[in-house]
Amino acid sequence: GTQVTVEIHSEDTPLKPIRILSLEKGFQGTEAPRPPGAKDLHAYPWDKSSLKSMPVDLQQLKKLDDYALKVNVKSSVEDLVKALLKQARTELEKVRAIWMWICHHIEYDVVGYHNKSQLSSKAEDVLQMGKSICEGYAELFEQMCSIAGVQCKKLSGHAKGYGYKIGQTFTGNSDHAWNAVYIEGRWHLLDSTWGSGSVDDSFTKFTRRYNEFYFLTHPALFINNHFPDNSNWQLLKPTLTLKEFENNMLHSSNFYTLGLLASHPETPIIQTVNGKASVSVDCRSGTLFTFKLKGTDEHGLMTLKKHGMKLDIYPRETGRHKLEIFAKPSKAEASDGVYSCVLEYVVECESVDEAARFPKDLHQPVGPSWFSERQGFLRPSHREPTIHTNDGRCSLTFTLGKDISVLSSLHADGSGLAEDMGRRHIMQIRRGNQIELKLHLPHAGNFVLKIYSKKRSDPGNYDYIFNYLITCLNTEVKWPAFPQSYSKWMEDYEILEPLSGLLPANRNVQFKLKMHGIAKVLVQAENTYPLTHNRGCWEGTCNTSGCREVFVMVHENANHSFYSHVLKYEVETQ
């Protein structure tokens, strides 16, 4: 079809064209692709730099992408390529236009997958049908590149695709096809089947969802789920063996597109040690994680780190369990974003750690993190998720980085610790931008300390921020609640004594309270006892004979005749 004329003449001869060669239609105008050589290879393992094997500016390609999506030519593969190349000059642009068109116009043929005898993978047929299996995607890609004058090779091999089970071995014929393209003097890898969307594990439904990750993927990441029949096409040094490929951790494309870098352990099957298994993930910036062990997140302790997360899990029964880890970016605007599965492990549990039972109210992640810091809780006195106390008491402090009000509550399983009583076992003291939470546990066991906050100026509800696990093994522990406080008790007031909300009967009790901005303080028992003001504290004694309750009352203004209740104590029954 196309005529090529080449003129060869020296300066002193009259010009006379010599016809060299006429290309027959159907002859593909690219030379046989050269095999990959040293300059095509990338180091393995991944150096955590780029997700692609060459620099690609997606912003710059956006105009081309939009153009390619709109091209609607089905008359022939040649005509389609001709239309796409109107906007594509460089090799990268040509490959990109072909990639974009195929990923958005060809869908996976789930029916054909189950009935391969009826299926043609010829490029022309794939174009007319608008659907195919991986073989057809790769065939069409190769043909279109060839017409565009870009070297391209269809590769086949084993893939950890849909239906893949952890620990599976690969035998027999290859089960997947993809392509290598030659751009700017180097070979690169891509998979347009996986770029176009996903099928469910039973291969009955295709969901169109474009995936940028499989365009010119860095070979050290591509090997994660693509193992070519010819190991030269891994484009890696050193190359991996099939055994290594089978045993390697499978990271989904979400893992890398969310900016995650590595996971430990690096093998997908993990054994518990004394009933516990640990997993960690490294990432570039604040990412939110959740997990599911056998479908629930109750049997673990997950902590968020600045550059990743750490998870200890304690399966409740022996055997093999599926552990899934999900992640989502933490950008403020993406707070409604969906968690995507980024990792899957199989946990083999030989013995159960009976002691590791966590309260139902425990919320993942546990402990302070960059997330609680972002909400204004800075410099936590306790950085670990679990606080162990031997005498049933502990004290936590934070510097508040924002103008917030704080609320906290204590929860335990089956102890009948009602919400309001749970609050009474914590005393909050505010000193400037410091806040202290004093805890007195009502009994031994595992507790959850939940911490909430809201903007001081907001009339609305408090938002949950984070929680700790508090454990106490000492069965002697039995602290009474702190005294009940009323709305006139300010957050920067402080009880120095008595801290216990339960006072002994028939006793003189010493009071010492730090309060400011008031005129008079009275303690009301059977009789009324005034407290005296001394260096910022109100002090005095009260006798608890003949009464069941003791109130602390304040006069806010010396000219007022009425008192406000600020604290209430119970008195032990005799």
Report the catalytic residues: 134, 176, 191
The token pair that represents 442 in the structure block? 């009502």
From CA 350, how far away is CA 419, in angstroms rounded? 38
DSSP per-residue codes, 262-318: EEESSSSEEE-BTTBEEEEEEESS-EEEEEEETTBSSSEEEEEETTEEEEEE--SSS
567: Cβ contacts below 8 Å, ≥ 6 apart: 483, 484, 485, 486, 489, 495, 513, 551, 552
Starting from the edge strand earliest in sequence, which strands make up the sheet with 277-283, in order? 260-264, 277-283, 308-313, 300-305
Q: Is 392 left (phi over 0), alpha (psi -120 to 50) or beta?
A: left
| Residue whose token pair is 């629930």 | 296
What 8-state DSSP symbol labels residue 335? T
- Residue pair 154/145 in contact (Cβ under 8 Å)? The answer is no
Helix/strand/coil (H/E/C) assignment for every residue in 471-498: EECCCCCCCCCCCEECCCCCCCCEEEEC
Burial pattern 249-266, b for ≥16 Cβ within 10 A else e, equals: bebbbbbbebebebbeee
Nearest partner of 155 among 61, 233, 57, judged by Cα: 233
